Chains A and B, each alone.
Chain A
Amino acid sequence: MPTMIAALTLSAPVPAATPLWAAAWTVDWDALRRVASLADHNTRVVLLGVVLLGLAGGVVGTLLLLRRRALLSDTISHACLPGVVLAFLLGELWFGGGRSLPWLLLGAAIAGSSGALAVHWLRHRAGVREDAALAMVLSVFFGAGVVLLSLVQQAPGGGAAGLSGFVFGKAASLTAADARWIATLSSLLLLAVFLLRKEFALLCFDETHARVQGWPVRGLDLALMGAVVAVTVTGLQAVGLLLVVALLIIPPAAARFWTDHLTTSMALAGAIGAGSGAAGVMLSALLPRAPAGAVIVLAASTTFALSMLFGHKRGLCARALRRHRQARAIGRDHLLRAIYECLETKGITDRASASRNQAGRLPLPDLAHHRSWTDSELRALVRHADADGFVARLANDHIQLTRAGWDKAARLTRNHRLWELYLLHYADSAAAVVDREADVMEHVVGQDVADRLERLLENQVPRFAVPDSPHDLGGKAGPLPRVGSPHAEPDARREVGPTP
């Protein structure tokens, strides 16, 4: 183990004969094996306690975040410090057992709850704004705690030496008895939240509805805050009061990137919290100098960063991918309609001649004129349409629609023109602008709207045909073509390529 710490901190001299990387690999395998295999009873109990704590933190934190009270947990945890020190003092004075964990946790719970109530009182009775109330209570309680702590530590006896562990946490040196307390409290808390999950969900989603239905909203709110205090107090010793808030906030925030469902969200947040707790305990067993609380928080925030990037519901990548797909579909639709209109000006208005005949082949530059595409944009669009099986790329920069491509192009053009007609007749748009307006709208509407448009414009448009464009296309429009039903999706994907 010392070798490894030396390698990681680079503070101890490395023998000249051993290259740096080799020193880094001389891990104390024995220690690693002991931790990983959980051979040590103490490690097992501590691990169990911290895992359950992480689980409870994630589950309660999900509700806390949904109730929009994230900052309250920070205030509560800081407010716990004077409670711990006072409990220690009183314990020493009364029965000489100030170090007993349940006793200290009781003190922390009372102080934490007082902090929460002080915020509530400042807000509702004294009219202080919530953010100011939170900041005030946090600093006043924490300040009082620091003063008390320094007084206690100066006192003779040195019994208070361990108290500062509550500030940063000391998961690695938890005793089995402490860990058993943490495990018990966390399990009870999980059970309580499990039983009240329906009521808490209602409270967080729609407090008004809960009140109209006659639920005791105030009591439920107090219960939820009580759960937050319980997690905070339970986590004080393992994670420390500065960082216990991370156990409540980060796992739920990470879980939200993966799911849109409350129960799943709670379970996932619990799992992330538990995993982070486990990682923290393992690592701090290997590196006794690293404060466990900080390691747990780093593990949780790594999970958060990964979730934010790769979460499949709301992650950045997922969202970018959705935007990209949409942009690509819109570009493809524009390309297909441009091809259709090009063919139309050449008098080609049926699938056979468009997708089979020589006349259906279009040189790319013709299309480039049609919209404000640059050459490379156009080529990318054609490449994508080719991949989707709507367009075939031919020699000499020519392209031709496939049969599926023709069907889709005809349907798109039809929808576009229905929109244009609708805008002309019912929205009083000028013929010069309908093209652009329809361009925007046609991508937002589905087939059902197109069907409704059709019914509306029934007497102006022959059924299942592409109507003439209401504005000039820059060439002579051909006769109305007949295409398949607008409902039928093209089944042939790449049936017909170029024909001689």
Chain B
Amino acid sequence: MNAAAPSPAPVGEPAMSVRDLNVAYDRKMVLWDVGFDLPGGTLAAMVGPNGAGKSTVLKAALGLVPSASGQVRFFGLPLERARRRVAYVPQRESVDWDFPVNALDVVAMGLYRQVGWCLPLTKRHRDRAMEALVRVGLADLARRQIGQLSGGQQQRVFLARALVQDADLYLMDEPFAGVDAATERAIVDVLRALRAEGRTVLCVHHDLDTVTAYFDHCLLLNMRVIAAGPVARVFQPDHLRRTFGDRWRLLEDTVVRFGEEAVTSGRS
């Protein structure tokens, strides 16, 4: 995309670092003291059962949902000062696919911040958007209205929009959810290319079977972080049982009650 590959994050400065992140929706605790460091240049999966708060970690870190407490730093900086270095790929369901734009328009939206207020897109921007579409294998469909793309193709359009942002950290919410095999391969290729360029990727991932094949780092989450680190160390039966197993329910109940108490005491 551009010639100058970003330098990997300096040693000791994680691409993303989360401390004591607490999030509650209404009265239910969703994240409880979540904390982890994501080293630069890794391809990381965030894994956990449904409702474990995986997407919420990304949304809270990006300020999309309010967090009760906690600190999130990107490359050692608060979000406001690191926005240009972070790109987010939301879940596909988050937008109206009936919207009158084509694939190229959507990808170009990733460049709007660089284009700046009130200025029109130039040919140079459109060319860069096209390059990103080529990278995800959708060059032929650039002019197609987004609603007429298949689910996997829509996911790839979102990925391309993140690629043009030329970020150092990519946060992706279930990029492999409900996509066809061709899309899955295309996404994996892109992820590996990103890592080869020294960038960092954190994916919310639901398919336990492919974690070891696709990723080198793993973060097991169920309301709090169960384990985080290299896949070989983290992706162990013991950890997985603690993430997905029944024993968790006991703690879950405790945490819910704790959350309610926190809310009530906060009101009084």
A and B together in one complex: yes
Q: Is the CB of A262 within 8 A of B121?
A: no
Q: Are B90 and A209 in contact (CB under 8 A)?
A: yes
A198 contacts B90, CB within 8 Å? no
Given the known inter-chain contacts A205-B95, A262-B105, please indicate yes or no for A199 contacting B83, CB distance below 8 A. Answer: no
Among B80, B94, B100, B112, the residue within 8 A (CB) of A202 is: B112
Contact check: which of A195, A199, A208, A262 meets B64 at CB < 8 Å?
A208
Q: If the complex has contacts A202-B112, A205-B106, A206-B94, are A214 and B88 also in contact, measured as CB distance less than 8 A?
A: no
**B109 on the interface (CB 8 Å rule)?**
yes
Contact check, A198 vs B120: say whether CB atoms are below 8 A apart.
Answer: yes
Measured CA separation A264–B101 after assembly (Å): 10
Residue of B83, B95, B120 near A214 (CB, 8 A) is B83
Does B102 lie at the interface of the complex (its beta carbon under 8 Å from any beta carbon of A)? yes
**A261-B99 contact, Cβ under 8 Å, with A212-B64, A214-B80, A214-B113:** no
Residues of B within 8 A of A161 (CB): none
- Are the CB atoms of B102 and A260 closer together than 8 Å? yes
The answer, yes or no, to whether B221 is at the interface (CB within 8 Å) is no
Query: Number of contacting residues on A, CB 8 A?
Result: 25
Q: Given A214-B83, A262-B100, A196 and B109 touching (CB < 8 A)?
A: no
User: Which one of B87, B94, B100 lies within 8 Å of A259 (CB-CB)?
Assistant: B100
Cβ of A213 within 8 Å of any chain B Cβ, yes or no, is: yes
Contact A209 B88 (CB under 8 A): yes
Instruction: Tell me whether A211 and B100 are in contact in the complex, defined as CB-CB below 8 angstroms, given that A199-B117, A206-B95 are known contacts.
Output: no
Instruction: State how many residues of chain B have any CB contact under 8 Å with chain A.
Output: 31
State A201–B120 Cα separation when bound (angstroms): 12
Q: Does residue A66 face the partner (Cβ distance < 8 Å to B)?
A: yes
Q: CA–CA, A208 to B171, complex, Å? A: 13
Bound form: Cα–Cα A213–B161 in Å: 12
**Dominant secondary structure of chain A at its interface with chain B:** helix
Give A115 Cβ to nearest chain B Cβ, in Å: 26
The listed residue with most B CB atoms (<10 A of its CB), out of A198, A215, A265, is A198
> By the criterion CB–CB under 8 Å, are B96 and A205 in contact?
yes
Does A148 lie at the interface of the complex (its beta carbon under 8 Å from any beta carbon of B)?
Answer: no
A265: B residues at CB distance < 8 A: 100
Per-residue CB contact flags for chain A residues 441-459 toward chain B (1 = under 8 Å, else 0) read 0000000000000000000
Q: Which residue of B lies closest to A265 (CB)?
A: B100
Chain A residues whose C-beta falls within 8 Å of the C-beta of B90 in the assembled complex: 206, 208-209
Contact B96 A211 (CB under 8 A): no
Q: How far is it, in angstroms, between the C-alpha of A206 and the C-alpha of B158 when the chains are bound? A: 11
Q: Does B3 contact A (CB under 8 A)?
A: no
Q: How far is the CA of A198 from the CA of B145 in the complex (A)?
A: 17
Task: Find out whether the CB atom of A208 lies under 8 angstroms from the CB atom of B94.
Answer: yes
Check if B100 sits within 8 Å of A260, measured CB to CB.
Answer: yes
Chain B min CB distance to A19 (Å): 51
Q: Which of A190-225 contact B (CB under 8 A)?
A: 195-196, 198-199, 201-202, 204-206, 208-209, 211-215
> 7 tightest CB-CB pairs across the interface, nearest first?
A260-B145, A195-B118, A214-B83, A212-B88, A213-B113, A262-B100, A206-B95
Question: Which residues of B approach A to under 8 Å, CB–CB?
Answer: 62-64, 80, 83, 86-88, 90, 94-96, 99-102, 105-106, 109-110, 112-113, 115, 117-121, 145, 161, 165
Residues of A bordering B, CB below 8 Å: 66, 68, 195-196, 198-199, 201-202, 204-206, 208-209, 211-215, 256, 259-262, 264-265
Contact sample, A vs B, 7 pairs, CB 8 Å cutoff: A66-B99, A198-B119, A199-B112, A201-B101, A201-B109, A205-B95, A206-B95
